[in-house]
Structure 1
């Protein structure tokens, strides 16, 4: 807007005002410059968001291309690289809430299975797809039918 304001006054001095615009001598020159600069800022207001939107979309697209070139995301068993099917993948990665790992912190399989939990002072374990409570000696009592309590319903 500063360049446009300067060019307006440069063209005005060189070519004069058009005949259909009346002269205004009551305003000071500084007030006219401020008024014109603000007018150009309002006019250019619609250009900036479009270019910003295009820049952000290009960044997301180019960021998704980096997944394909990441050597740590290559799977030699199927001879395939990671492939981003959406340009929003970078944003979605930041929204992971839970990540289940083993005690060393590594993922050993892609299938995560619920094994056991402790709710309050009671311990529970899944055996053959059924939910059982552990007794005091640490063994699973297969005859004990588990009744879900409000704490368990809240946990699951």
Structure 2
């Protein structure tokens, strides 16, 4: 593993995170905009966990906790920095956060077609639950 700095996102970093996701994440979400990321950071300052290497943003995960569920989103690592333990370090930080607030299980949103992500989540000990399906309704 490389020498990483793992930290939470700071106010004013939404544009940096969005730019990073364009380079590192697959798929988009209705909340992938300045307002969505800014609100996430303001509402739950510990949810957006970032990994930096030599001052450069190289990884992210959203570890959201609503008092009931531990939800994981946007686990992403720059393609040039993959396979160096960054995703594992981010998930460890997320899981520590969840354990500290009394979380019991982490639920990850993983794109069905993203085989690389599916392998990474499985390697981290997460299991697919085929008996559940996500139902959504956009409000905007």
Smaller-chain TM-score bracket: under 0.3
Query: TM-score when scaled to structure 2?
Result: 0.19
In terms of fraction of residues, the more strand-rich structure is: 2
Query: TM-score when scaled to structure 1?
Result: 0.18
> Which protein is bigger by CA-based radius of gyration?
1
In terms of fraction of residues, the more helix-rich structure is: 1
